[in-house]
Amino acid sequence: MPRYNYLNPPENARAPQEVRIVDLKVEPAPDNRRVRVMVEITPFRERPDLTATLYQQDEEVTSAHIVENIDTHLAFTLHIRNLSDDPNYVLAVSVHYQEYGEVDQRSISFSLPPAVQE
């Protein structure tokens, strides 16, 4: 997995304003209390910040902030603290820099499957 190396960035590394989200996936855990988020971004010259926010009916459920990310392929877990009867969610991920602001954003809608009882 490629990692950011400030001494030797890859040849195809992009300037901050050109960094983009290439792929975004979400996988609910069997208990529906967690979701696995997988994000792929373009190679970069400067380490970007990322924000992932989970919404339900336009209300924020949970979020995560990654500061000065060093990977082009990220995987992390978001925890859903309060489950509701509505299984529909939207995950929004943004790439931003303190100096340049938001440079890209992508959203994905998904529904939680019926929970598996342990």
Q: Give the pLDDT score at 26.
A: 98
Q: Give the pLDDT score at 4.
A: 63
Residues of the chain under the 70 pLDDT cut: 1-7, 115-118
Q: Give the pLDDT score at 84.
A: 84
pLDDT digits (tens, 9 = 90+) for 53-78: 999 999 999 999 999 999 999 999 99
50-54, Cβ contacts within 8 angstroms, sequence gap of 24 or more: 50/74, 50/93, 50/94, 50/95, 50/96, 51/93, 51/94, 51/96, 52/76, 52/78, 52/91, 52/92, 52/93, 53/91, 53/92, 53/93, 54/78, 54/80, 54/89, 54/90, 54/91
Global confidence as pTM = 0.89
